[in-house]
Structure formats: C-alpha cells, structure tokens
Amino acid sequence: MLLLAGLSFSAPAHAERIKDMGQFQGLRANQLTGYGIVVGLAGTGDDSLDYSTLGMKGAISRFGLTLPPGLNPALKNAAAVMITAELPPFAKPGQRLDVTVSAIGKAKSLRGGTLVLAPLYGADGQIYAMVQGNLVIGGLGVDAADGSKLTVNVPSSGRIASGATVERSVDTGFAAGDWLTFNLHQFDATNAKRVADAINASIPGSASMIDGASIAIRAAGNGDDRMRLMSRIENLGVERADPPAKVIVNARTGTVVINGAVRVGTAAITQGKLTVSIKESPMVVQPAPFSRGETAVEQSSDIKVTEEARPVFMMKPSASLAELVDSINRLGVAPGDLVAILEALSQAGALTAELVII
C-alpha cells in the first residue's frame, strides 16, 4: 500500500505529448496563390471590368482563339478570382490540394461557376500546383425586381475540394545535417527544459536546449531513421509548466480572461454605482382670454441622483483565481467596471499578473 501511495504521488498530474507543444523546424506548410477566371455564372459576373476581360482573352488565346482588336465582351457570366491554397510538407507531385476561390471584382455570386485551369505560385515565383474544377459555394445572393436583396453568408467565395494537383515538391532539408530542431509554440524556458529532459530520458544525450523556444536533437541516418526518431519523440509525455500570470482584456468587446496563475495580494475592493436620472415634463401654457398672448411650452425637469452603497471586500494575501472570481461575483460589476478594478489593483501593486489590453 505504501508503494502504491508513493507511485500515485510521483505520477505527473497532466502529461501532454511533445507533438502538441510545438513542431520540428522546416516541416511547415507553404502558401500558394494564383489568379484565374470563373465561368458559367448566371449573370452574376464582373460584367466589363478591364482585368477580367484581359484574363478571359488570355484564357481563350491558349486554345488558338484571338478576339478582334478593340472588342471587349461584357462578361456577365465570368469573374476574375484569386486562388489560395496551402502546400503541406512532403507533398509530392500528383497529390491533390483543396483550394479557396474568392472574387476580386464586381461579381455578386460565384454559385454554379467553374474555374478554368490556372497555376498556383509560391513565394519564389515558381509554379507548384495547377487548379481547375467546379466551385462549392456556401452562400446565397438573390436580387428582386423592386431592388430588394437577400444575402446569406458570402456567395462571392467558395472552395474546390481536391481541385489542385501538385506539380513540384518543396525541399525541406529534412534528411540533411546531423541535427533536428524542435520549436515550441510559445517561448518558455521551463517547458524547453522539460522537453529536453524527456527526450534525454528516452534517448540519453541526444537533446540540448538552444534557447527557451528551441531544442536541438542529434539525428543521424537516412530519412526512415529520422522519421522513426521523430515519431518516438512526438509521443513522449511532458508535464507542461504553469503559464505566466496574465489578465487579457479585450477593450472592444469587454471580454476579460484571467488564467489560473494570477494571484492577488492584500487589498480592499469596493465599487460604487452612481445613477443619474433626468425626467422631462414639458407643460403647455395658454394665454389669458383676449390678451393677445401666444401659446408656449414651459419646460419642467426633475433630476435625481442615486448612489448605491456597496460593502468593501477584503482580499486575502495571495488570493487564488477562485477567490478573485468569487469576490468579483459578489460585487456584481459589469465588464467595463471589472477592467477598471483590475487596472486599479495592478497600479496598487496587488495584482501579480501582466495586464494585457488588446
């Protein structure tokens, strides 16, 4: 029984996988963009925009058809679009990608449209994929004869599932060098140390910290050996360190988020509520008979000021998040007043946390 008790106390409270705390350097997605023409629209296209006309002329010229000089067709059934996609790491030629297609002109809706074959470029200007297909639109736009309109979601943007074909792969440099680098999602020296310790416990002497966000891991052999090493490391369990104490305040929405590391020192808190009410009671005054006077409106205002008395709450030294929330609930304050209280606690030195206002 003593042995079981000792094991229960030594087990980590909550272990997370290393793969959920960061990623290996170089194994990232690459953004692709392109320009194309969507055809087959039911009169909801760009009409006569110059760049749409030029794009359509370019698409038609690939099939040997040349429009007469000076002819600019009204492209009500076509629209110029921007195409975006993400090329995942290790993507090989022939694999398929999902793409997003968005109108860039006057097109009201892309529903029912077909994207004509278009290239997708990387940041280096090289073509990495080709895309073509029918769009799936989640929005709806309807115009009536009297000018009334109804729009559901965004009909000027859609997706093509598996619409792009990879033409070129990206060299990640995965198999080169003697080291792999694992980068944490957030800088934290304690988490970096714990990740390095967990890796060394499984593979002695293989990991060392570069800084508070990166761990270098000795890796040798071919791609198969490295992938097996990565798989082994990603599934190791690490007890994540407590995050820094922070209070996040969204000034636009009034949202306040307080994490569990926040502590409040000894402080007395009260919050007053002042209500000012103004009641206007205008009265119509009539002149005396035969006095040649004029009817007038006499203003009558009643101003009342009410201040609600609220008790003072004493915060205990190093009060926890639960105690802070309980005190706030007893005060019954609105989000705007809560922000003022937290700022006052921070200025008084009683709030052990970083106050971040976004």
pLDDT single digits (tens) 250-309: 777 777 788 877 777 777 766 666 556 667 777 777 777 777 777 777 777 676 766 566
Residue 253 is assigned to a structural domain of this protein:
yes
Supply the pLDDT for residue 214.
93
DSSP character at residue 234 = H
Domain end point (choices 166, 196, 228)? 166
Mean pLDDT to the nearest integer, 75-93 = 89
pLDDT at 317 over 50: yes
> Among residues 79, 86, 82, 85, which one has the least CA distance to residue 111?
79
Supply the pLDDT for residue 352.
77
Which range is most confident: 129-138, 147-156, 330-339?
A: 129-138
52: left (phi over 0), alpha (psi -120 to 50) or beta: alpha
Asked if 218 and 253 sit in the same domain, the reply is no
CATH of the domain at 231: 3.30.70
Residue 11 is assigned to a structural domain of this protein:
no
Asked if 154 and 137 sit in the same domain, the reply is yes
Mean pLDDT to the nearest integer, 41-51 = 75
Asked if 49 and 130 sit in the same domain, the reply is yes
Asked if 61 and 146 sit in the same domain, the reply is yes
Residue 18 is assigned to a structural domain of this protein:
no
Residue 10 is assigned to a structural domain of this protein:
no
Residue 301 is assigned to a structural domain of this protein:
no
What is the extent of the structural domain holding 187? 173-239
Q: Please indicate whether residue 242 or residue 323 has the higher confidence score (pLDDT).
A: 242
Range in 3-7, 19-23, 181-185 the model is least confident about: 3-7
Q: How many domains does the chain have?
A: 3
Asked if 135 and 43 sit in the same domain, the reply is yes
The two tokens of residue 48 are: 């006569």
Supply the pLDDT for residue 298.
77
What's the predicted TM-score (pTM) here? 0.65
Domain end point (choices 223, 239, 255)? 239
Residue 251 is assigned to a structural domain of this protein:
yes
Residue 127 is assigned to a structural domain of this protein:
yes
pLDDT in tens, 206-262: 999 999 899 999 987 777 888 889 999 999 999 988 888 888 877 777 777 888 777
Percent of the chain with pLDDT over 90: 28
